[in-house]
Chains A and B, each alone.
Chain A
Amino acid sequence: MISVENVTKRYGEKVAVDDLTFQVKPGVVTGFLGPNGAGKSTTMRLILGLDAPTSGSVTIDGRSYLDLGAPLHEVGAMLEARAVHTGRSAYNHLLALAQTHGIGRSRVNEVIDLVGIQSVARKRVGGFSLGMGQRLGVAAALLGDPRVLILDEPANGLDPEGILWIRTLLKRLAKEGRTVFLSSHLMAEMAQTAEHLVVIGRGKLIADTSVEEFVQRASTGAAVRVVSPQATALRDALAAKEAQVESVERDVLEVHGLTGQEIGEVALAEKIVLAELTPLQLSLEQAFMQLTGETVEYHATSTDSDDPTTMKAAA
């Protein structure tokens, strides 16, 4: 388990991470979302002991990264910015990392096979495509068979086949009981891979919830579309529950203030036939925009409060 407690990181005047607190639990894939400049990479560097927090503490299974006697066996990490000498071959890069922990050459070959870079393993990393570089990063992270995985934008630069591969791999790693923590700016990707979300903006925590809850929360006030041959009767029944009901067309209602399940229960109690029941949910993208709209570091347009294009944070 990764535990971030009241962590603040300042670079001179600029506050990159502001009193951040959250935990990443084992057995699930936890997504780390936030707009560019929100402090995701900084937070990951703080977890990995590369940067020191200005205040607060970061622990992995109760210990600071700096106190780990065999960090590669505990935590595997891949940072967004490449962390490989471009003049060295992938094999030698992995071998040098392995040797710090006494990990054998057979394991080096194993992770090379696992990520599918056998054909380029003896070539200099400088010539690698973005996708190959990402695969090498994943190989380095898996080298010590760690219980905790921290990946910054792992899907970045991968082709569709590669994205499917990383998605399957991450889910499998989580199922094996490992802690998987990954950042991404691709919301759709997160929806497919992560179960839990930590959302930050301007270094502050915005949400720490399940993906489902996140969408739901952001969708608060979103309507449920109901189609029923007994629309009038249903409308009266729902109105009695203090829901706002709107007739869109014949037999079609849009209900605010009740969930799909609650509407279904009302219909059952009143013995009303439902032909269609669709929560008009926001996509993860929309939910994200809704929640972080106000915390995006650089707005493309003016941020005047009366500007209709400015989105208000729902949280």
Chain B
Amino acid sequence: MSATSATLETPVRTSVARGQVTQLRVFRSEWTKLWSLRSTRWSLLAATVAMAGLGPLIAFFQMNRWDRMAPDDRLHFNAINTAVGGYHFAQLAIGVLGVLILTGEYSTGQIRSSFMAVPKRLPVLWAKCGTFAAVAFVLMLISAFVAFFASQGILTQHHVQTTLGHAPALRSVLGAALYMAVLGVFATGLGAIVRNTAGGISLFAGLLFVVPGLTNLLPTSTQNAINPYLPSVAAQGILSGTRDAHTFSPWGGFALFCGYTVAVLIVAAVLLKRRDA
């Protein structure tokens, strides 16, 4: 090739190390992909700010209104639920981002580049879920701790604060991070199944936010029988400072939610392998 390339400015072939595709390398690639999109950074920032900031904000309003709060409100006040209250918003940002991680590749055609580089396909799914779960867990853990300590600081105003040592405070803070990590994987799996952004987000929001509203319309006995099995109800026990009747234990419910997530991932994996890209 020396004769040909000598006449041209840049050689095509240089010493390119010939490495194999490994799961670890695919993880690294997905890490780069995750952080190199503006939409990811904004969604993660929104989730982090919401998780860290909304709890203390709610605590602030509660303390300002404490003297005028209804006795029933005061009776049901829970310092932990106030602190991790930001999850209501953060779960939406994490879920939508989870869906987008796969559907964004389908809508732009990027998925073809991804699968040409990793023709076995499944390493891409594992790497996407793994990196996103890890990022979501770390960010949500930090912001949940921030929210907890900031909230308790504010709640001292009326001496209704709690401490991490006080059960189940630590479990709730850890639980918030665990819930977000698994939720992200759940949503990524839904995205892989649906492949369409609008459809994926609708499915995610439907399962988590709409179905509980619908079961509320059912007769109480039916409702009580069904509710513990709903993904949102099963999952959110782990981060709640209180325990509702007709729910599984916090860890039991969370295990069920993990089971749902595994089921979604299995379906996603089978479809990813089978379908034309």
**Chain A residues proximal to chain B, CB less than 8 Å:** 45, 48-52, 65-66, 68-73, 75, 77, 79, 81-89, 92-93, 95-97, 99-104, 107, 110, 113-114, 140, 142, 144-145, 168-169, 172-173, 175-177
Of all chain B residues, the one with the shortest Cβ separation from A72 is B117
Q: Name which of B65-73, B101-109, B207-215, B220-228 contacts chain A.
A: B101-109
**Are A84 and B113 in contact, CB atoms less than 8 angstroms apart?**
yes
19 A-B pairs, CB-CB below 8 angstroms?
A: A45-B276, A51-B277, A66-B119, A68-B119, A70-B18, A71-B21, A77-B116, A83-B111, A86-B108, A89-B36, A96-B36, A101-B117, A104-B17, A110-B10, A140-B113, A169-B12, A172-B5, A172-B12, A176-B13
Q: Give the docked Cα–Cα distance between A51 and B5 (Å).
A: 36
Does any Cβ of A come within 8 Å of B230's Cβ?
no
List chain A residues, Cβ under 8 A from B8.
168, 172
Least Cβ distance of A99 to chain B in Å?
4
Binary interface encoding of chain B residues 26-40 relative to chain A, with 1 for a CB under 8 A from any of its CBs, else 0: 101110110011110
Of all chain B residues, the one with the shortest Cβ separation from A146 is B16
List chain B residues, Cβ under 8 A from A86.
108
Does any Cβ of A come within 8 Å of B219's Cβ?
no
**Chain B residues proximal to chain A, CB less than 8 Å:** 1, 4-5, 8, 10, 12-14, 16-22, 25-26, 28-30, 32-33, 36-39, 104-105, 108-113, 115-120, 276-277
Of all chain A residues, the one with the shortest Cβ separation from B37 is A87
List chain B residues, Cβ under 8 A from A175.
1, 4
For the complex with contacts A66-B119, A87-B37, 14 further pairs of A-B residues with Cβ separation under 8 Å are A49-B116, A69-B20, A71-B116, A79-B112, A85-B104, A85-B105, A88-B33, A92-B36, A95-B36, A96-B36, A104-B17, A113-B10, A172-B5, A175-B4
Least Cβ distance of B40 to chain A in Å?
9
List chain B residues, Cβ under 8 A from A72.
116-117
**Are A101 and B21 in contact, CB atoms less than 8 angstroms apart?**
yes
Least Cβ distance of B171 to chain A in Å?
37
Of all chain A residues, the one with the shortest Cβ separation from B118 is A100
List chain A residues, Cβ under 8 A from B277.
45, 50-51
**Are B276 and A96 in contact, CB atoms less than 8 angstroms apart?**
no
With A85-B37, A145-B16 already in contact, the answer to whether A50 and B28 are too (CB < 8 A) is: no
Count of A-B contacts with CB under 8 A? Answer: 137
**Are A103 and B17 in contact, CB atoms less than 8 angstroms apart?**
yes
**Are A84 and B12 in contact, CB atoms less than 8 angstroms apart?**
no
List chain B residues, Cβ under 8 A from A114.
10, 12
Least Cβ distance of A153 to chain B in Å?
14
Q: Give the docked Cα–Cα distance between A249 and B80 (Å).
A: 104
Q: Give the docked Cα–Cα distance between A88 and B30 (Å).
A: 13
With A50-B276, A92-B36, A102-B19 already in contact, the answer to whether A110 and B14 are too (CB < 8 A) is: yes
Q: Give the docked Cα–Cα distance between A52 and B115 (Å).
A: 13
**Are A102 and B17 in contact, CB atoms less than 8 angstroms apart?**
yes
With A48-B116, A101-B25 already in contact, the answer to whether A70 and B33 are too (CB < 8 A) is: no
List chain B residues, Cβ under 8 A from A145.
12-14, 16
List chain B residues, Cβ under 8 A from A96.
29-30, 32-33, 36
